[in-house]
Amino acid sequence: MSSQKIIVANWKLERSFARAQEWVATHRDDLSELAHKAELVLCPDIITTASLGQLLQGTGIALGAQDCSPYRSGKYTGAVSAQSLHDVGCTYVIIGHHEQRSRSTLTDSDYAVSCAMALQCGIIPVLCLGELAEDRFNHQKIKDLFATNLELLYRQYRSNGLKNNKGTLCIAYEPIWAIGSGDFPTADELVDRISSLRDLINTYDAVPATRIVYGGSVTAEHCEFLRDIPYLDGLLLGSSSLDMQSLKKIVYSFIK
């Protein structure tokens, strides 16, 4: 598994096609600099993805998407396949983000299938898992949520014969109450959640290296303690990834 930290920038619907291109063109040198510090993945909206891939060439920055369908092909209006993401140069895809789940009828099993679709196309899925505010202090419920989803994910992994795929998987711990709210888990909570995830992952044999990232209201101020959380391999950023100065501060304070 790469020891390099990973920073996934989820641009959501915050940046239009034209603005995304302009931003990347303006900050090309900064982006190249950051690519030496971390594995940085930009996830624009779907229509921007292909053109951004071309603009990012030579910067060392990876391209990601914000979602992919559990279906390979067929009559699924509006869906985006893993194959298309691969064709336009995506190497990562965020799967099951809360903002996507809350508008969808897809289930945990469907998101596990989306992850398998991505893996089959050589794309690393970033599967988002996190608890509701009311479950914040329910340790067992959170552990069950992790266990259920990891079982679904690794079952897909095994049944699709993905065993020999060299790619890695990525799990994003994103407490729903922390996304876009400014609320943040304590260091103790994070140590507990991340090590729970790591322990569960370690119970599976013959699965690829799995990285764990944290997402939800991350700012540079949190990075001092985030970088000391054991087994935390990276961050999933929303708002704070939209501004180059804040992105740089985060990368430089998370990765010393």
Which sequence positions are flagged as catalytic? 97, 174
The pair phi, psi for residue 184, each rounded to 5°, is -145, 140
Which is closer to ligand PGA, CB of 95 or CB of 237?
A: 237
Distance CA 177, CA 180 (A): 8
Distance CA 228, CA 206 (A): 28
Distance CA 191, CA 226 (A): 9
For position 179 contacting ligand PGA by CB under 6 A, the verdict is yes
For position 66 contacting ligand PGA by CB under 6 A, the verdict is no
CB of 217 to ligand PGA, least distance (A): 4
For position 180 contacting ligand PGA by CB under 6 A, the verdict is yes
Q: In one letter, which amino acid is 104?
A: S
Distance CA 157, CA 144 (A): 20
Q: With CB under 6 A, what is the number of residues at the site for ligand PGA? A: 13
Judged by CB under 6 A, which stretch of 61-69, 76-84, 174-182, 198-206 contacts ligand PGA? 174-182
Q: CB of 100 within 8 A of CB of 92?
A: no
Q: Show contacts with ligand PGA in window 9-38 (CB under 6 A).
A: 10
For position 115 contacting ligand PGA by CB under 6 A, the verdict is no
- Select from 44, 53, 215, 234 the one that contacts ligand PGA (CB under 6 A): 215
CB of 8 to ligand PGA, least distance (A): 8
Q: CB of 239 within 8 A of CB of 247?
A: no
For position 239 contacting ligand PGA by CB under 6 A, the verdict is yes
Q: CB of 217 within 8 A of CB of 21?
A: no
Judged by CB under 6 A, which stretch of 43-51, 183-191, 222-230, 236-244 contacts ligand PGA? 236-244
* Residues across the chain: 256
Element (H, E) at 95: strand 92-95
Q: Which residues bind ligand PGA (CB under 6 A)?
A: 10, 174, 179-180, 215-218, 236-240
